[in-house]
A and B are shown apart, each in its own frame.
Chain A
Amino acid sequence: MKGARNISVEKSNMEPIISITNLSKIYRVGSEKVVALQDVNMNINKGEFCCFLGTSGSGKSTLLNVLAGLEKPTRGNIRIKNVSIEKLNEKKLAAFRQDNVGFIFQAYNLVNYLNAVENVSLPLMFKGVSKKERTKRAVDLLKAVGLSKHLRHKPTQMSGGQQQRVGIARAFITNPEIIFADEPTGNLDSKTSLEVLDLMAGLAKKNRQTLIMVTHDLNIAKRADRIVYILDGRIEKIEEKQYTGVSYEQN
């Protein structure tokens, strides 16, 4: 365990995929300034399962959004794979997301009028992959997440857990190096939550993908390799598992 700021987790066998330097995000609400993030510095390593833990309003979601390029930081620098993403324009950002990033949402955010296969293949469609190929890949992945019987189901015909499995499949379909998950279990009961979590973490570990999750639930956070406690826009502390890189089931 180390101090809240100026943490360097660089170990010789690890390569940072994300480096955050002096990151601040300040909102202006009328004449009031609201500091959402203040001077955040940290690195996230490739293949790591990192969790931002904090209460509502702590700034953990803002941190995720800024990392994902959904919001521009007020100050500071974010380098993902050595690209300063805060400097990218909309078009480059879209291309960057297509190639490197997957998203999993609390509310699943599936497109209601598309079936499971179509939903999962959306990111591939945006990349311009042919319908035949993207459908094949989507079907394969949906089978892998245990939805072989729900390929042509619309989101409204599926349970929350099933919907989130579709969401996970959609995030992994492009084989991104980084997956952002914003309260992925927030709408699920505890049993389903664990199933979904296992699925997510298992897929990420298998391909050595970096998984960054936001949650307010310590029990969920405990599954991560590293827990970053966020409080009032600052990193309060970082807890690391003893054996980084070892699957959590073994702990």
Chain B
Amino acid sequence: MKISDVLGMSLKNLLRRKTRTLLTLIGVLIGTTSIAVMMSIGVGMDRTFENQLSRMGSLHTITVNSYYFPENGGFAEQKNLDDKVIKEFEQIEGVEAVMPQLRAFLKFASGRYVAHVDLIGIDSSKMEAFDFEISEGRLLNGDDKGAIVFGSQVPYFFYNPRAVGNSGMIMFGDNGEPPPVNVLEDKLIMTFDMSYGESYANQPGNVRRKTYKAQGVGILKESGEYSYSAFINIDYLKKLMQDNEREEKRIAASQGGSEGSIVYYNTSYSRGGSSSRNTSYETVLVKVTDVNKVEEVQNKIKEMGFGAYSLADARNEMKKTLAVVQAILGAIGAISLLVASLGITNTMYMSIYERTREIGIFKVLGCYLKDIRGMFLIEAALIGFFGGAIGIGVSYTISAIINTIAVRVMMDMGEGASISVIPLWLALAAVAVAVLVGLIAGYFPSKRAMKLSALEAIKNE
């Protein structure tokens, strides 16, 4: 038999029993829709997550710490992150750039306003490689000294410590008001003295410390990793820290044993500082060209005995969780498709029961068994196909409705985020699954049709 004839006979039979076909088809439709809609929510979660992740920072970057926590527990190990190690990092295959960071916690002041700032010393020539993007002003130059580039949130850190009712709480984020200090134009100073500008600065025993000139040259674009810090040339920060260390020593010597008064020392983040010629860095950023190699490079760095962290870690963890969520959502949807498949099987058995005589005639007239099986399998598959195809259409509609309602209910979904997303692969897979379910559901009935005794079937009543 020609395949077109097998298909034609199947279609003819489906159309002959319109009501039953339609009811069975609706079952498949509901099943496919429930799977597609459930899965679309999983996909939507995945998209939202990826979206958020990309706002948190670059997936290309690995943050290396001098501390390494063995994964099987135990004590933290510590190794020097010095220039020699950084050279080694640069040799690792796939590494595009390495940026050591020196960190210090300083107080910035402008007029009456002060702010606690996490100041990071970096190599200005590598800023572009690490996706520093300027929103106002410019990035750092190599010959900058007191020049500072601020993370987008840092200007909001400024507060007036003497204002009534101000507890010194830092307001993160933009509450609609412009920051109190224009960091690009207002005069700025910075100091290691944490008591600077505070009301308690005048208490007896508190030692005033040096202040340094600072010049805001740029504000970065909003980004997950750089928003809450300020950036300065690493060489200049080194100098500041050495200077501060000398001052600390001097103060400590002058105060003798009165330890109680040494309260507001800046516990410098830079271990080693000037004490050794070979500077050890707190953190080193490593950029990997290929996202898929991030994990590999990260593992190599870990093997060298350093702590290495990347968004890939969080991504992998989240992906695992999402996979479970998707599986559960899919399984919930699959239940109704399973029920639908029973519907198909039932319909096919009914059909065979009614058409016993016809099947017998076909056999006697020389119809091949495979063609008989084909007719019934295709019939079942067609129910699956049409149910699945219409179901996908319905799914897209439901998905759109969900998203419309979601946007109205929750305004803070973030731009472009959808709760329910049906990518093309999901649509095609859903139809394919529906056809497959039809074929499986039709398998045993078609086998039964094949095995029917022709003689029994055509017996005279």
Contact = CB atoms under 8 A, between A and B. Distances in A.
Interface of A: 65, 68, 70-71, 90-91, 94-99, 101, 103, 105-107, 109, 111-113, 122-123, 125-128, 130-131, 170, 183, 186
Contact of A126 (B1, B12, B13, B460): B1
Given A90-B369, A123-B365, A126-B368, A107 B358 contact: no
Nearest to B4: A131
B325 interface: no
A83 B16 CA distance: 41
A133 B366 CA distance: 18
A127 B2 CA distance: 8
A126 B361 contact: no
B117 to A, nearest CB: 84
Interface of B: 1-2, 5, 12-13, 16, 357-358, 360-369, 371, 454-455, 458, 460-461
B1 A94 contact: no
18 contacts: A94-B366, A94-B368, A97-B366, A98-B366, A103-B364, A105-B460, A106-B460, A109-B357, A113-B16, A122-B365, A125-B1, A126-B362, A126-B366, A126-B371, A127-B366, A128-B1, A128-B2, A131-B5
B458 A105 contact: yes
A157 B116 CA distance: 97
Contact of A130 (B2, B371, B455): B2
A186 B455 CA distance: 18
Given A113-B16, A125-B1, A94 B367 contact: yes
Contacts, number: 66
Contacts of B358: 111-112
A94 B365 CA distance: 8
B367 A91 contact: no
Task: List the 10 shortest-distance A-B pairs measured between CB atoms, nearest first.
Answer: A98-B366, A97-B366, A126-B367, A109-B361, A123-B365, A70-B455, A94-B368, A94-B366, A125-B5, A126-B366
Given A91-B369, A105-B458, A111 B361 contact: yes
Contacts of A97: 364-366
Contacts of B455: 65, 70-71
Contacts of A107: 458, 460-461
Contacts of B1: 125-128
A101 B455 CA distance: 16
Contacts of A96: 366
Nearest to A107: B460
